Amino acid sequence: MTQLDQAASMLLTPGGLDLDSLDTGLSHAMGAGIDYADLYFQRTWQEGWVLEDGEVKEASYNIDGGVGVRSLAGEKTGFAYSNQITADALVDTGKTASGIVRSGTRLAGQAVRPVSAALCYPDIDPLAGLSADDKVAMLKLADRVARAADTRVSQVSASLSGTYEVVLVRASDGTLAADIRPLVRFNVSVIAAHNGRRERGSAGGGGRYSMAKLRDAGVAERYAKEAVRQALVNLEAVDAPAGQMPVVLGAGWPGILLHEAVGHGLEGDFNRKGSSAFAGKMGQRVAAKGVTVVDDATLADCRGSLSVDDEGTPGQRTPLIEDGILTGYMQDKLNARLMGMAPTGNARRESYAHMPMPRMTNTLMMAGQDEPSDIIKSVKRGLYAVSFGGGQVDITSGKFVFSASEAYLIEDGVITAPVKGATLIGNGPEAMGQVSMIGHDMALDTGIGVCGKEGQGVPVGVGQPTLKLDELTVGGTQS
């Protein structure tokens, strides 16, 4: 069965609909004066298992589903959704959405054009294939490994979660697309206590594949050890320095620098509205030479990957900055059309109950030439940050922050004491100009990112090589 047939049978059939009946459904959303409309059908099955005190005491299961209907007229958007996927619901939501304008020409929808896209991940139910006993055993293994790793470990919690998501998009431009999106994640968090001090360490990861693959990859053991290692490092951490200094970012997850410092500022909506610090800078230098940043939805099995986006556009690899020059924005159909550009497969939405907008998928900086050890050696006094909590950006002023959860001092070219977590702050365009060394060790994160925008959360990935910024402000307490 093709993905389309499979999605139709799971999303449409239960409510008495089929692919042919979507033309009628769409016609309600294509009211007078509407120039584009789409129907987004979605169902998600979500499962979560949590271990605490060595036992799995809690688990939950959630089923969500419905249809979101959107009608566009110029820059206007009408939007409504329903938990019911029925012909009646399509009439109600379609009329509500198209009520955004009340006059104008009534356009006919274009002939159906099924979208063909390469699959970037398997079209499977990730929750199947691993029994409940296996899931519990995996969590208990993480607990045993973490507790055996060091006597200072006082608390261990671990979680296993997975989502099976099926979507189907039908739009008035003829688009008909379906996608089956597995997503799994395993996480371990520990508290280590020593001499009256307590610190946390955590590690985790996952991607768009099955829970069985997660287990076979040995994540329970790996993340348990990694979480313990981080907690023990933090038990020794001294107060972080305060002020401007060179900062070396490790490879992988520290790529949230790119996500915050440049990624959001290159989303089409902010640039169309002129509210981004990067607005109007296409073709100009916005980063140091050697800096190449792409958004890549096509990476196999990655957390942020999309075979097709939430408007049915195939996922792509979109260059954003090439050798320091701004070359691309991330677009959905609305903003692409209004800016006279092409959609880039970056339309994303948290669910059928949310409107799509331009969002990142996996955002990466390409590898450079430098030896990571040479990058450390080049710093007289600075910070080496290898793991982060979260970040945030004000896209208008360009100011961004991200908070280190594991960092070290660099003194005379040598990594010395671990320091407590500190927030780093900078200005996106300026910080990208401060990049002076780029390692050859490009790495992806382990699959843990969630990006929030206008209240909507979506899974994302980041990646980068070891990187040196000549000057960034470190928000410690030692001035």
Both tokens of 162, joined, read 């997975």
CB-wise, 119 or 242, nearer to another protein?
242
Both tokens of 475, joined, read 């928000």
Q: Confirm or reject binding of residue 271 to another protein (CB under 8 A).
A: no
Residue from 391, 447, 463, 465 touching another protein (CB under 8 A): that is 391
In the region spanning residues 182 to 201, those forming contacts with another protein, defined by CB under 8 A, are 191, 193, 197-200
Shortest separation between residue 461's beta carbon and another protein, angstroms = 19
236: enclosing H helix or E strand: none
In the region spanning residues 19 to 58, those forming contacts with another protein, defined by CB under 8 A, are 52, 55-58
Shortest separation between residue 256's beta carbon and another protein, angstroms = 11
Residues pairing with 159 in the sheet:
50, 187
Shortest separation between residue 435's beta carbon and another protein, angstroms = 18
Q: What secondary structure letter does DSSP report for 30?
A: S
State the Cα torsion 197-204-46-182 to the nearest 10°: 170
Shortest separation between residue 85's beta carbon and another protein, angstroms = 10
Both tokens of 339, joined, read 């800016």
User: Is the CB of residue 333 less than 8 Å from the CB of residue 313?
Assistant: yes
Cα 351–Cα 463–Cα 288 angle in degrees, nearest 5? 120
CB-wise, 83 or 284, nearer to another protein?
83
Residues pairing with 308 in the sheet:
314
Per-position x/- string for 235-254, each x denoting binding to another protein as judged by CB under 8 A, each - no binding: -----x-xxx----------
Shortest separation between residue 336's beta carbon and another protein, angstroms = 17
Instruction: Give the Cα separation of 68 and 83 in Å (integer).
Output: 9
CB-wise, 98 or 298, nearer to another protein?
98
Instruction: Give the Cα separation of 86 and 31 in Å (integer).
Output: 19
**Residue 463: burial class (beta carbons within 10 Å; 0-12, 13-18, 19+):** buried
In the region spanning residues 141 to 180, those forming contacts with another protein, defined by CB under 8 A, are 154-155, 157
CB-wise, 343 or 391, nearer to another protein?
391
Cα 265–Cα 309–Cα 41 angle in degrees, nearest 5? 125
CB-wise, 63 or 118, nearer to another protein?
63
Dihedrals phi, psi of 343, to nearest 5 degrees: -60, 150
Cα 380–Cα 382–Cα 385 angle in degrees, nearest 5? 135
Shortest separation between residue 168's beta carbon and another protein, angstroms = 17
Q: Which stretch binds another protein (CB under 8 A): 162-170, 305-313, 393-401, 440-448?
A: 393-401
Shortest separation between residue 52's beta carbon and another protein, angstroms = 7
**How many residues belong to the site for another protein (CB under 8 A)?**
77
- Between the alpha carbon of residue 260 and those of residues 256, 270, 303, the distances in Å are 6, 14, 18
CB-wise, 24 or 154, nearer to another protein?
154
Contacts of 457 (CB under 8 A, 6+ apart): 350, 450, 451
Per-position x/- string for 344-363, each x denoting binding to another protein as judged by CB under 8 A, each - no binding: ---------x-x--------
Per-position DSSP letters for 64-124, written without gaps between them: EEEEEEEEEETTEEEEEEES--SHHHHHHHHHHHHTT---S--PPPPPPEE-----SS--S
For residue 41, which of 217, 196, 165, 192 has the smallest C-alpha distance? Answer: 165
Q: Confirm or reject binding of residue 7 to another protein (CB under 8 A).
A: no
Q: Which stretch binds another protein (CB under 8 A): 108-116, 143-151, 270-278, 282-290?
A: 270-278
Q: Confirm or reject binding of residue 113 to another protein (CB under 8 A).
A: no
Q: What secondary structure letter does DSSP report for 250?
A: P
Residue from 392, 413, 436, 456 touching another protein (CB under 8 A): that is 392
Shortest separation between residue 246's beta carbon and another protein, angstroms = 15
Residue from 10, 87, 128, 136 touching another protein (CB under 8 A): that is 136
Residue from 105, 111, 274, 412 touching another protein (CB under 8 A): that is 274
Per-position x/- string for 281-320, each x denoting binding to another protein as judged by CB under 8 A, each - no binding: ----------------------------------------
Shortest separation between residue 33's beta carbon and another protein, angstroms = 12
Residue from 2, 13, 275, 284 touching another protein (CB under 8 A): that is 275
In the region spanning residues 53 to 112, those forming contacts with another protein, defined by CB under 8 A, are 55-66, 75-83, 92-93, 96, 99-100
Distance of CA 247 to the CA centre of its chain: 24
Both tokens of 38, joined, read 């789409």
Shortest separation between residue 139's beta carbon and another protein, angstroms = 11
The 10 Å Cβ neighbour count of residue 208 is: 29
In the region spanning residues 368 to 387, those forming contacts with another protein, defined by CB under 8 A, are none
Q: Confirm or reject binding of residue 473 to another protein (CB under 8 A).
A: yes
First to last CA, the chain: 64
Shortest separation between residue 8's beta carbon and another protein, angstroms = 18
Instruction: Give the Cα separation of 286 and 322 in Å (integer).
Output: 10
Which residue matches tokens 């954003």? 320
